[in-house]
Amino acid sequence: MGMSDSTRRGVAIIGGGPAGLMAAEVLAQRGYAVDVYDAMPSVGRKFLLAGIGGLNLTHSEPYPAFVGRYGDRAEQVEPLLKNFDADALRAWAHGLGVETFVGSSGRVFPREMKAAPLLRAWLSRLREAGARIHVRHRWQGWSADGSLKFDTPDGELAVRADATLLALGGGSWKKLGSDGRWMPWLAEKGVATAPLLPSNCGFDAGWSDFFADKFAGEPLKSVGLAFQGGDGREFKRVGECVITQSGIEGSLVYACSALLRDEIARAGSATCYLDLIPAWDEARVLAEVSHPRGSRSLSSHLQSRLNLKGARAGILRECLDKESFQNPAMLAAAIKRLPVTVTAARPIDEAISTAGGVCFSALDARQMLAALPGVFCAGEMLDWEAPTGGYLLTACFASGRAAGQGIADWLEAAR
């Protein structure tokens, strides 16, 4: 098809992830003609990837704690969650015939532990409601006349819509469609944006070749991680992380990633502290370290008395100098508080998600851009971040729902 003016087509939603599809559902249910455009061969690619290990839809923790997971953006995200919280998300999934359960960590999963059945049921319901989905349609910004430009398998397409929702994701996982290419296009239109930064990411720690080659890929299970930034923010939790060739990653590190990333930006590096035996206090550790070891090596002694072996013993030797290693008091203190200095976050495309994007100050209460009347934003392209554990998905669903309602309200007011 050649470049041509299309007839006005109701609402155009650009991005077929959870935020875009949720907005499409709200609008279709309210009787609007909805067209969803996605650059990929099918919608929900990143959503499906998130479900490979068991789709973590949301979290069951109390609402105040849940809201607190959004850190500096809790105040902006909270109204979205109030409109569509974790319980509402579970009820919505149940309405699609997908039962959920709460895991031992408080995380909420579908019974089948898969994303595909939910997505199939959802797309079926959307199509029944009249929503049209166009794949392999890559948005290329706006034409001079204000129409939306798309590259498609059949050529360039121009679309005019009564309202547009941008739900293009952040900058991570380019191969799944979230590439951040939209940032300069919005900036040119006067939309306030914050630079995209890696979130829920790993960090470089400058390991020795010996340590990296021997322990890369090894988990550190049930360890504590503590950090206090120069800005006063603190983190302390027990969980699991993984040694990588260049540093450290995993759920425990992801939960602290925003603080570590911001401290590196502020100070050039960030030092966090690992507690290798969080179930023991330092007095007990010192007693075991100080116990006579006879002819045994110190490594054998630590394995026998404290069960310190493998990656735990390795990282202790990597991060503690030889003199301290031979001093029982200093060794015991390090086992409980081992300094690990990280110097850089891993690249955005390795991150699970991103911070930055469209500033909330650029939006009105309906999630419409002040600089572009009739253009709305939702999902991860907004400037917020959250740890893994269902918080990312919940806010994407909630912001998509709010944007859909905002679009409908704006269109009705404009009649």
- Looking at residue 67, which CATH number applies to its domain? 3.50.50.60
58, 156: one domain: yes
- Is there a domain that residue 78 lies in? yes
- Is there a domain that residue 188 lies in? yes
- Is there a domain that residue 2 lies in? no
User: Number of folded domains in the chain?
Assistant: 2
pLDDT value, residue 50:
78
208, 193: one domain: no
218, 139: one domain: no
- The pLDDT tens digits of the residues spanning 19-50 come to 999 999 999 999 999 999 999 999 998 888 87
- Using the CB atoms, write b or e for 264-302: b if 16+ within 10 Å: beeeebbebbbbbbbebebeebbebbeeeeeeeeeeebb
341, 358: one domain: no
- The pLDDT tens digits of the residues spanning 341-360 come to 999 999 998 999 999 999 99
| pTM score | 0.90
329, 404: one domain: no
Within 8 A by CB and 6+ apart from 220, the residues are: 240, 241, 242, 243, 250, 274, 276, 311, 312, 315
* Average pLDDT of the residues in 176-182: 83
- Is there a domain that residue 4 lies in? no
287, 380: one domain: no
337, 382: one domain: no
pLDDT value, residue 123:
97
Specify whether the CB–CB gap between 108 and 60 falls below 8 A.
yes
- Is there a domain that residue 75 lies in? yes
pLDDT value, residue 128:
96
The one-letter code for the residue type at 45 is: R
Nearest to 410 by CA among 363, 366, 371, 360: 366
66, 191: one domain: yes
- The pLDDT tens digits of the residues spanning 191-221 come to 999 999 999 999 999 999 999 999 999 999 9
365, 298: one domain: no
102, 134: one domain: yes
pLDDT value, residue 46:
85
State both tokens at 134: 């166009």
pLDDT value, residue 7:
32
Q: What domain range includes position 289? A: 203-345
Q: Is the pLDDT of residue 1 over 70?
A: no
Q: Is the pLDDT of residue 68 over 50?
A: yes
- The pLDDT tens digits of the residues spanning 243-291 come to 999 999 999 999 999 999 999 999 999 999 999 999 999 999 999 999 9
CA count, 13 A, side-chain hemisphere, 337: 11
Pick from 345, 370, 385: which residue ends a domain? 345
- The pLDDT tens digits of the residues spanning 357-380 come to 999 999 999 999 999 999 999 999
CA 407 to chain centre: 25
243, 329: one domain: yes
